[in-house]
């Protein structure tokens, strides 16, 4: 999945790069697996902006992805590899022997006409899903559950994976590319393989307008504003304000811990990514 650079006929396209999409085998999505996708524009239920720099973007429809892989011991055949505008990785359309169709995340190396299956005792093969306790050590996996039956929550973006390090009692030790090592219950399901579209992180957006297509609005520096708009605004000539960096509402923006105390999964982290 290499990238393609455009001929620099304009200043914007000089730094512009896009995927070649050579792995895509079907351009129109499966109608039965589409859902509506409502945009918030960064606003909450009261209509107030709670997440800045969001809004606009191209209209999309949601592809319903099977993160749970709960159709056990039934063979499925990969019928197409498709583009999903809502995620970095590609998706695969699979059809089970009983006729049902589902979308799954497409791992690297999965091809059309491949057979996949999910279950407690299945072959160690790219695209197959099984509990962590059944997966050998040093195997690359993705779409990993944090709680049994909840569906995959970890390692779901392009080129992502985790590696099985060890098994201890009811837990399996997983290592992530960030360096974090974490315990996850052995009954949680995961899928074999590393996710595809590895070159996604190398894409150069190239121009501001392309960010707007993605629903990302411009981010203006505080020091470039007037004093009425930001605590770091104003001053004669260029100035950094002389104070600590803060948000528009005066909250420290570097190092201040804002996380609320709540029940977290931190106790399962053996080694932090730091």
Q: What is the pLDDT of residues 9-49, one digit of tens each?
A: 998 889 999 999 999 999 999 999 999 999 999 999 999 99
CATH code: domain of residue 251 = 4.10.950.10
Cβ-contact 196, 155 below 8 angstroms: no
Domain membership flag for residue 214? no
pTM (2 d.p.): 0.90
Cβ-contact 211, 195 below 8 angstroms: no
Q: For the sheet containing 101-105, what is the strand order?
A: 101-105, 91-96, 76-82, 115-116
**pLDDT tens track for 255-269:** 998 888 777 667 888
Same domain, 232 and 184: no
pLDDT score at 1: 63
Same domain, 156 and 241: no
Domain membership flag for residue 207? no
Domain enclosing residue 227, as ranges: 223-269
For the chain, give the mean pLDDT. Answer: 93
Same domain, 154 and 58: yes
Half-sphere exposure in the Cβ direction for 40 (13 Å, CA):
12
Domain membership flag for residue 154? yes
pLDDT score at 260: 81
Q: Kindly tell me if the per-residue pLDDT of 109 is higher than 80.
A: yes
Same domain, 134 and 233: no
Tally of CB atoms within 10 A around 128: 20
Three-class HEC string of 46-85: CCCECCCCECCCCCCCEECECCCCCCECCCEEEEEEECCC
Tokens encoding 28: 């129109």
Same domain, 183 and 49: yes
Q: What is the separation, in whole angstroms, between the first and last Cα of the chain?
A: 31
Q: Kindly tell me if the per-residue pLDDT of 241 is higher than 70.
A: no
Tokens encoding 90: 């590609």
**pLDDT tens track for 153-197:** 999 999 999 999 999 999 999 999 999 999 999 999 999 999 999
Domain membership flag for residue 19? yes
Same domain, 197 and 228: no
Tokens encoding 197: 């579209």
């Amino acid at each position: 999945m290499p990238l393609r650079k455009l001929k620099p006929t304009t200043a914007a396209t000089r730094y512009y790069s896009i995927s070649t999409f050579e792995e895509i085998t079907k351009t129109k999505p499966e109608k039965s697996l589409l859902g509506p996708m409502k945009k918030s524009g960064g606003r909450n239920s009261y209509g107030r902006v709670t997440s800045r720099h969001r809004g606009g973007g191209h209209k999309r429809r949601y592809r319903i992805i099977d993160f749970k892989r709960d159709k056990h011991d039934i063979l499925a055949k990969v019928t197409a590899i498709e583009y999903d505008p809502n995620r970095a990785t590609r998706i695969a359309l699979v059809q089970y022997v009983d006729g049902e169709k589902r979308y799954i995340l497409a791992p690297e190396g999965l091809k059309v006409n491949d057979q996949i299956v999910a279950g407690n005792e299945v072959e160690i093969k790219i695209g197959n899903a099984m509990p962590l306790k059944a997966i050998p050590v040093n195997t690359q996996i993705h779409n990993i559950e944090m709680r049994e039956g909840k569906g995959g929550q970890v390692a779901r973006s392009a080129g992502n994976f985790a590696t099985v390090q060890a098994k201890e009692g009811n837990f399996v030790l997983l290592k992530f590319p960030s360096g974090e090592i974490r315990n996850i219950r052995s009954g949680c399901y995961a899928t074999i393989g590393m996710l595809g579209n590895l070159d996604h992180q190398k894409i150069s957006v190239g121009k501001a307008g392309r960010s707007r297509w993605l629903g990302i609005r411009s981010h203006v520096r505080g020091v470039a504003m007037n004093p009425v708009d930001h605590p770091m605004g104003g001053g004669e000539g260029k100035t950094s304000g002389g104070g600590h960096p803060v948000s528009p509402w005066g909250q420290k923006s570097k190092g201040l811990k804002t996380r609320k105390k709540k029940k977290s999964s931190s106790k399962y982290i053996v080694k932090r990514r730091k």
